[in-house]
């Protein structure tokens, strides 16, 4: 049971969504951060203007107002307004004891006529460069800044309204800014985190998946990109686990290949030795006896003795032929002449034995080809031609050995019945072996020994065409290198 699989893009879109929302949050915070400074400025400016305006409009009496002690507040002007305004000034103040602004009424000689508590100190804020009716930001001698407006009254005199920026809104705006910056920092951190997650986790996982996907187990090692760069511990561990399994697969496959190679090698060695013994021993003895018989025949012998000698020579010739055939069957000595000659010799023999036309085409000399590679090709040809004729009823067989890029391609194409649909898309060599058809699996084994691949299929892509094609692809490096020494005994 495998887990249900989300589409490949799911992770990407998930991260994209998170990134997008975080980025939007960041941008909104940035905007609010900027906008709130402007907003504060506008609110306080319009606040002081409005207070001054409201006060000017609501003045109950003509301007011959008697001066009032600064400390008494503005109760005298109208009790309806004063408490509310005082409350207004305190509303935003984080510390009510601080002077957060006030309202001051004064005449043209700058004499205070009345105002809110402590407001008489504010007169010093009014400098000549402050235009009447314009809300302005000014600073007092202690460095506190105020939004201030001075308005001329219809009744004469002026009203000054000031709201302390420092004492009234600073703490609030500091908190607000702190919050905004926190949001901005955290969303920025999230963006960095997402980028890091993508770079150090998602990408490595993806490239691991890719490397493992394209990995030929037992043949090659996985290639992980970004080698030498900083990587997460888990990713490194995962990579090393995969590398370990891959290298184990390679050594296991190598061991198996060597095992098979050793068996086949031992077999071939034994056959070669036996062929050698037959050639050097019995065959030469029979040849020597033929020579003796021929010698005897060449001297003047007549009658019954001559007949017997003739018969003896015939029998000996027959024996010599038989032994020769055994030698060829066991281990053809002409493989030593090079792959091109060996293929031609074998084709000549096979075409005579099977009564089929075999065309050989070799595109180069391949003088460096190691003996086991040449022998494997010879054995594959033997097997393939026999299959083509026996099972396919082939009459014409094309044998080609050619170089294609970094590969050596050995192909055998016949004009026989070929395979019916889906016969051998990818034959299961173990199964065919169990079914008693050793031929194909033997071929497969030989090719594997060489580190090549075997493919079996129709002679052409045309579905109506007849014929079968067996092709063996061997990396050229393996077809030219001397054979690897057998595994040392332990």
Partner 1 sequence: MIRILLADDHPLTRAGLAAWISDVPDFKLVAEASDGESAWRAMRESSPDVALLDIEMPNGTGIEITERATRARMPVKIVMLTAYRAQQYVMASIRAGATGFVLKTAPFEQLRMAIVSASEGRFYLDTSVSLAGSGDVAPEELSPREKEVLILTAQGMQGHRTASKLSITERTVQAHLASVYNKFGARNKTEAILIALKRGIIFLDELHIDEDGEI
Distances (CA, A) of 199 to 124, 190, 195, 224, 226: 61, 14, 6, 14, 11
Closest distance of CB 206 from partner 1, Å: 46
Which residues are registered as beta bridge partners of 147?
137, 163
Q: Binder to partner 1 among 17, 24, 352, 353 (CB under 8 A)?
A: 352
Q: Is 90 exposed, middle or buried (0-12, 13-18, 19+ CB in 10 A)?
A: middle
Q: Binder to partner 1 among 65, 159, 235, 320 (CB under 8 A)?
A: 320
Do residues 268 and 375 touch, judged by C-beta distance below 8 A? yes
Nearer of residues 155 and 321 to partner 1, judged by Cβ: 321
Q: Binder to partner 1 among 340, 411, 413, 441 (CB under 8 A)?
A: 340
Closest distance of CB 452 from partner 1, Å: 22
Closest distance of CB 273 from partner 1, Å: 14
Cβ contacts of 218-222, under 8 Å, gap ≥ 24? 218/249, 218/250, 218/252, 218/253, 218/254, 219/250, 219/253, 220/246, 220/250, 221/246, 221/247, 221/250, 222/246
Size of the site for partner 1 (CB under 8 A): 39
Angle at 348 between CA 366 and CA 414, to 5 degrees: 85
Q: Binder to partner 1 among 117, 344, 395, 476 (CB under 8 A)?
A: 344
Sheet holding 468-475, edge to edge: 357-362, 396-404, 407-414, 468-475, 453-458
Q: Is 357 in the site for partner 1 (CB under 8 A)?
A: yes
Binding mask 250-289 for partner 1 (x = CB under 8 A): -----------------------------xx--xxx-xx-
Nearer of residues 81 and 279 to partner 1, judged by Cβ: 279
Sheet holding 136-139, edge to edge: 112-115, 101-106, 158-164, 145-152, 136-139
Nearer of residues 240 and 284 to partner 1, judged by Cβ: 284
> Are β-strands 453-458 and 468-475 bridged in parallel, bridged antiparallel, or unpaired?
antiparallel
Of 59-67, 188-196, 340-348, 417-425, the segment contacting partner 1 by CB under 8 A is 340-348
Do residues 217 and 249 touch, judged by C-beta distance below 8 A? yes
What is the DSSP secondary structure assignment for residue 43, as one 8-state letter? H
Residues 283-312 that bind partner 1 (CB under 8 A): 283-285, 287-288, 290-292, 294-295, 298
Binding mask 361-390 for partner 1 (x = CB under 8 A): xxxx--------------------------
Closest distance of CB 227 from partner 1, Å: 43
Of 54-62, 119-127, 245-253, 357-365, the segment contacting partner 1 by CB under 8 A is 357-365
Q: Binder to partner 1 among 342, 399, 472, 474 (CB under 8 A)?
A: 342
Classify the C-alpha dihedral 67-70-75-81 as positive or negative: positive
Query: Which residues contact partner 1 (rule: CB under 8 A)?
Result: 279-280, 283-285, 287-288, 290-292, 294-295, 298, 316-317, 320-321, 324, 327-328, 332-334, 337, 340-342, 344-345, 347-348, 351-352, 357-358, 361-364
């Amino acid at each position: 049971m495998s887990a249900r699989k989300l589409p490949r893009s799911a992770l990407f879109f998930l991260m994209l969504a998170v990134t997008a929302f975080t980025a939007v949050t960041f941008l909104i915070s940035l905007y609010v951060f900027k906008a709130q400074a402007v907003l504060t400025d506008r609110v306080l400016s319009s606040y002081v203007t409005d207070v001054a305006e409201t006060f000017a409009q609501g003045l109950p009496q003509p301007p011959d107002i008697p001066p009032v002690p600064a400390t008494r507040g503005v109760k005298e002007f109208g009790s309806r307004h004063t408490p509310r305004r005082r409350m207004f000034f305190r509303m935003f103040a984080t510390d009510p004891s601080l002077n957060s602004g006030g309202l001051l009424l004064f005449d043209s000689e700058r004499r205070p006529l009345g105002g809110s508590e402590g407001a008489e100190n504010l007169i010093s804020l009014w400098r000549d460069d402050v235009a009447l009716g314009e809300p302005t930001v000014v600073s007092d001698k202690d460095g506190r800044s105020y939004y201030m407006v001075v308005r001329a009254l219809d009744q004469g005199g002026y009203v000054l309204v000031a709201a302390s920026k420092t004492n009234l809104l600073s703490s609030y705006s500091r908190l607000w800014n702190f919050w905004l910056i926190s949001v901005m920092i955290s969303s920025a951190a999230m963006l960095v985190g997402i980028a890091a997650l993508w770079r150090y986790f998602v990408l490595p996982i993806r490239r691991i998946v890719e490397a493992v996907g394209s990995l030929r187990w037992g043949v090659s090692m996985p290639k992980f990109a970004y080698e030498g760069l900083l990587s997460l511990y888990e990713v490194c561990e995962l990579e090393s686990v995969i590398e370990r399994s891959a290298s184990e697969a390679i050594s296991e496959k190598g061991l198996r290949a060597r095992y098979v190679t050793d068996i086949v090698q031992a077999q071939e060695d034994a056959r070669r030795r036996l062929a050698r013994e037959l050639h050097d021993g019995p065959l030469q003895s029979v040849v020597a006896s033929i020579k003796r018989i021929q010698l005897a025949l060449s001297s003047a012998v007549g009658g019954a003795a001559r007949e017997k000698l003739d018969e003896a020579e015939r029998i000996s010739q027959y024996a010599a032929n038989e032994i020769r055939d055994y030698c060829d069957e066991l281990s053809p000595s002409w493989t030593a002449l090079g792959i091109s000659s060996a293929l031609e010799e074998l084709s000549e023999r096979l075409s005579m034995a099977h009564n089929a036309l075999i065309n050989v085409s070799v595109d180069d000399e391949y003088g460096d080809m190691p003996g086991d590679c040449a022998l494997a090709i010879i054995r594959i040809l033997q097997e393939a031609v026999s299959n083509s004729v026996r099972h396919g009823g082939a009459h014409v067989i094309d044998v080609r050995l050619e170089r294609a890029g970094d590969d050596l391609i050995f192909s055998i194409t016949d004009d026989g019945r070929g395979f019916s649909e889906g016969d051998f898309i990818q034959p299961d060599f173990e199964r065919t072996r169990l079914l008693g058809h050793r031929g194909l699996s033997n071929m497969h084994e030989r090719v594997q020994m060489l580190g090549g691949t075997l493919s079996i299929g129709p002679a052409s892509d045309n579905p109506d065409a007849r014929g079968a094609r067996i092709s063996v692809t061997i990396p050229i490096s393996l077809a030219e290198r001397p054979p690897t020494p057998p595994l040392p005994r332990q």
